[in-house]
């Protein structure tokens, strides 16, 4: 059995947020796929099932019959981890949460928590939330990016999304996340990392920004390899 690392970007971002880390994993001799979730809102609501189907189909196409899938979910993609793990259809799936929210242990998982929903409702216009770079008063903080080229690539991926998407929940019934690890980058996700520790999962701390895979891709790749090999 070989590992296929499937790097799942946040719904508000795109594959560019993972590409440097994907290149580092490839250079380390690992097989990698970086699905694109672009267009998951095209068919109208409900949006969560469409996102899950789109991501899972791309992972399944990249996987061989004997592969273990190492599903690496970043940021808001964490809410979809159990559903994606189930939908890819692999015999074995490990999940690594990279500065990501954790799914609810039972019941539906909100796409966005209620506190942040209030902010999104404030910035939405006509039922549409602007692209992620416009969520900030001026522009996305420069420290998130190692270069202007990296900033341009990430911002080019970002698209406006329906407010309805953020108000949805991922339904229960996905595959239980019983083989998991946590990779912490930023202070905003310390509570999620602490929860992962309480669940007995291995946790690695790489202090940096929320987009650390852009800034230190080799370090992130190394940590992902370690977490994929570690038992919960």
Helix (H, G, I), strand (E, B) or coil at 3: strand
Taking the CA atoms of residue 201, residue 230, residue 101 and residue 28 in that order, the dihedral angle to the nearest 10 degrees is 170
Q: What's the pLDDT at 12?
A: 97
The answer to whether 80 and 55 are in contact (CB under 8 A) is: yes
* Cα–Cα distance list, 196 to 99, 110, 179, 201 (Å): 11, 18, 11, 5
- 206-227 mean pLDDT: 96
10 has pLDDT over 80: yes
The answer to whether 18 and 9 are in contact (CB under 8 A) is: yes
- Give the pLDDT confidence of 18-53 residue by residue, as tens digits: 999 999 999 999 999 999 999 999 999 999 999 999
Q: What's the pLDDT at 183?
A: 98
Q: What is 3-109+171-229's CATH number, 3.40.190.10, 3.40.50.1820, 3.20.20.70, 3.30.413.10?
A: 3.40.50.1820
**Residue closest to 71 by CA, chosen among 92, 50, 47, 41:** 92
Six-digit token string for 179: 């083989």
Q: CA 149 to CA 164: how far, in whole Å?
A: 32
178 has pLDDT over 80: no
Q: What's the pLDDT at 143?
A: 75
Helix (H, G, I), strand (E, B) or coil at 32: strand
Six-digit token string for 36: 């694109």
User: Band of the pLDDT at 174, cuts 50, 70, 90?
Assistant: low
């Amino acid at each position: 059995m070989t590992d296929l690392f499937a790097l799942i970007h946040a719904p508000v971002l795109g594959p560019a947020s993972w590409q440097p880390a994907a290149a580092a994993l490839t250079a380390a001799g690992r097989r990698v796929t970086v699905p694109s979730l672009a267009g998951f809102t095209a068919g109208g609501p409900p949006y969560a099932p469409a996102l899950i189907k789109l991501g899972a189909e791309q992972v399944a196409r990249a996987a061989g019959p004997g592969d273990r899938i190492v599903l690496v979910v970043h940021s808001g993609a964490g809410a979809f981890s159990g559903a994606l793990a189930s939908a890819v259809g692999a015999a074995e799936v490990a999940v690594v949460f990279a500065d990501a929210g954790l799914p609810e242990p039972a019941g539906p998982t909100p796409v966005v928590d209620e506190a942040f929903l209030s902010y999104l409702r404030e910035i939405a216009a006509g039922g549409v939330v602007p692209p992620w770079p416009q969520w900030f008063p001026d522009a996305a903080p420069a420290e998130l990016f190692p270069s202007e080229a990296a900033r341009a690539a990430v911002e080019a991926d970002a698209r406006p999304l329906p407010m309805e998407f953020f108000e949805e929940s991922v339904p229960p019934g996905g595959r239980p996340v019983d083989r998991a690890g946590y990779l912490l980058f930023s202070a905003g996700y310390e509570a999620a990392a602490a929860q992962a520790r309480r669940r007995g999962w291995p946790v690695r701390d790489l202090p940096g920004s929320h987009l650390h895979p852009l800034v230190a891709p080799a370090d992130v790749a190394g940590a992902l390899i370690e977490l994929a090999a570690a038992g919960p």
